[in-house]
């Protein structure tokens, strides 16, 4: 560590409250780095199309703009979007069942 950094480190330490100084000393003053870069924010999960769950929900609900939908409907859309993006088995199962059920209805309606 450069001499100037040591002086700055000591100045930062001396300006702290005794309680905070004690905490640093307990872990080891030599290991403490007041110049540490902040950590990156948590990754925002995206689907293969590079959309977040919020983007997907907004896009879907905007496609329904001519239809009225309830807040329960929009909450359900958000819940399944987050579940699918997080690859949660519960939501993957609901999605796959919905696809299967739609095909079943289309096949049965065509045959009548």
Per residue in 68-112, pLDDT tens?
889 999 999 999 999 999 889 999 999 999 999 999 999 988 776
Rounded distance, CA 24 to CA 14, Å?
Answer: 12
Cβ–Cβ < 8 Å for 82, 53: yes
* pLDDT above 70 (res 21): yes
Cβ–Cβ < 8 Å for 57, 74: yes
Instruction: Provide the greatest CA pair distance for the chain.
Output: 86
């Amino acid at each position: 560590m450069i001499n100037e950094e040591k002086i700055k480190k000591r100045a930062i330490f001396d300006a702290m409250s005794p309680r905070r100084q004690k905490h640093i000393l307990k872990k080891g003053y030599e290991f403490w780095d007041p110049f540490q870069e902040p950590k990156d924010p948590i990754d925002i999960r995206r689907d293969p199309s590079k959309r977040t769950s919020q983007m997907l929900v907004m896009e879907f609900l905007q496609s329904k703009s001519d239809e009225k939908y309830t807040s329960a409907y929009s909450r359900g859309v958000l819940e399944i979007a987050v579940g699918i993006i997080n690859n949660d088995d519960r939501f993957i199962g609901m999605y796959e069942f919905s696809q299967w059920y739609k095909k079943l209805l289309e096949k049965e309606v065509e045959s009548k």
